[in-house]
Amino acid sequence: MSSRYVFNSNIHWTFETTVFLFAWLVLLGASYAVKKNAHLGVDHIIELFRPGGRTALGLVSASICLSFCFLMLKRSRRHWANFANLPGIEGRWFPIGFEEKFRELG
């Protein structure tokens, strides 16, 4: 603290060190919690259903998460294709608007 305010020089590596140490703390803590089956979860709504309903809700939740991941992958590839000189992707999975060719016909 004295070097920062008295000598007007900062130790640049300290911030990066704390960020990386905190990231490792989170990763190791999360893996240990999963190993001990003590991970956080909100299951008040799921507890209202019988085991068959819980399985169905789990499958619906997993399918929503996977579809979101695929959408993020597609959009990120479309975004970075311009910078990396990749060929563009034609068509959309979920149309947001009308394409130029379709507007000219209507």
Which band of pLDDT confidence, cut at 50, 70 and 90, is reported for residue 99? very low
Residues near 93 by Cβ (< 8 Å), separated by ≥ 6?
A: 70, 71, 74
Q: Where are the domains of the chain?
A: 1-40, 41-87
What is the per-residue pLDDT for 59? 94
Q: What is the pLDDT of residues 8-52, one digit of tens each?
A: 666 777 888 899 999 999 999 988 888 887 867 777 888 899 999
Q: Which residues of 56-70 are buried (b: 16+ CB within 10 A; e: fewer)?
A: eeeeeeeeeeeeeee
Distance CA 45, CA 57 (A): 10
Average pLDDT for residues 58-86, to the nearest whole number?
83
Residue type, 94: F
Q: Would you say residue 94 has pLDDT above 70? A: no
Q: Would you say residue 74 has pLDDT above 70? A: yes
- Percentage, residues of the chain above pLDDT 70: 68
Cα 99 from chain centre: 29
Contact present, 52 and 44 (Cβ < 8 Å): no
Distance CA 21, CA 19 (A): 6
